[in-house]
A = this chain, B = another copy of it.
């Protein structure tokens, strides 16, 4: 059984304020917890059903964290999932470590993604397409929100996030200070792709070896501060009547075109 205090602690981790205070976040659901156990995270505790414990004893007992046995409905009440199947964990957050595109690598950059479901979906898509680093604007929703972790379907264990002020970040990685206006942009060696309505057809875009792909806010797209660093505006061509695509869908289509080469 989960103690009142523990349940209260688990509830508190639904709020960013307390996640930051405790440097900890929630991972919910048997599948996500199993992926977590196979990854490199510092786990504080797991709460699991007796059934889950029996099926995974060897995996659980070799690790140093606290283990609580609880009924499935207790886990549901303690967490955010409507039906928590069998397990949840409290995990230490990782440091906000600087990330950049190494030669031959692509990095995803998120400019003000507000919806946790979208961020989680994008982490999952990045993982599918073999991207392991995502740069997030400081206004992007919190990576450790339980909804983000749940929507990532375990991909949060393989993809890293780095939160930073994007204009500063691009100055650093592109070596350009006070981003110049349009013509001089062509002199920037680093390829920074961004989706715009008036960009180049992505079906006809040749992608450089190394690069950054920027996805913008759900309503407003890429901000002008970040637009200044875009070297290649790209567009997903439209053949019908829909006004737009969801940002997660757009990210998948862009990454698929990049990988298709």
Which residues in A have some Cβ–Cβ distance to B below 8 Å? 121, 124-132, 153-155, 158, 203, 236-246, 248-249, 252-253, 256-257, 259-260
By the criterion CB–CB under 8 Å, are B241 and A127 in contact? yes
Cα-based distance from A58 to B42 in the complex (angstroms) = 62
Given contacts A252-B253, A256-B257, contact A242 B203 (CB under 8 A): no
State the oligomeric state as a number of copies: 2
CA A203 to CA B121, docked complex, whole Å: 22
Complex: chain B residue closest to A128, CB-CB: B242
Known: A121-B246, A249-B125. A132 touches B256 (CB 8 A): no
Chain B: CB-nearest residue to A152: B242
Q: In the bound complex, how far is the Cα of B240 from the Cα of A131, in angstroms?
A: 7
On whether A241 and B125 interact (CB within 8 A), knowing A236-B256, A249-B252, A257-B256, the answer reads no
Q: How near does chain B come to A65, taking the closest CB pair, in angstroms?
A: 23
Which B residues touch A256, using CB under 8 A? 236, 253, 256-257
In contact, A130 and B259 (Cβ under 8 angstroms): no
- Which chain B residues border A257 with CB–CB below 8 Å? 256, 260
Cα distance A124–B246 in the bound complex, in angstroms = 9
Query: A253: which B residues are within 8 A, CB to CB?
Result: 252-253, 256
Contact: A129 with B240, CB < 8 Å? yes
* CB-defined contacts of A240 to chain B, threshold 8 Å: 126-132, 158
- Residues on B with beta carbons closer than 8 Å to the beta carbon of A246: 121, 124
Contact A249 B153 (CB under 8 A): no
Closest to A126 in B: B240
Residues of chain B contacted by A203 (CB below 8 angstroms): 259-260
Q: Which B residues lie within 8 Å of A260 (CB)?
A: 203, 257
- List residues of chain B with CB within 8 A of the CB of A127: 240-242
A-B contact list, 16 entries, CB within 8 Å? A124-B242, A127-B242, A128-B239, A129-B238, A129-B240, A130-B239, A130-B240, A132-B240, A155-B241, A155-B242, A203-B259, A239-B259, A248-B249, A249-B249, A249-B252, A257-B260
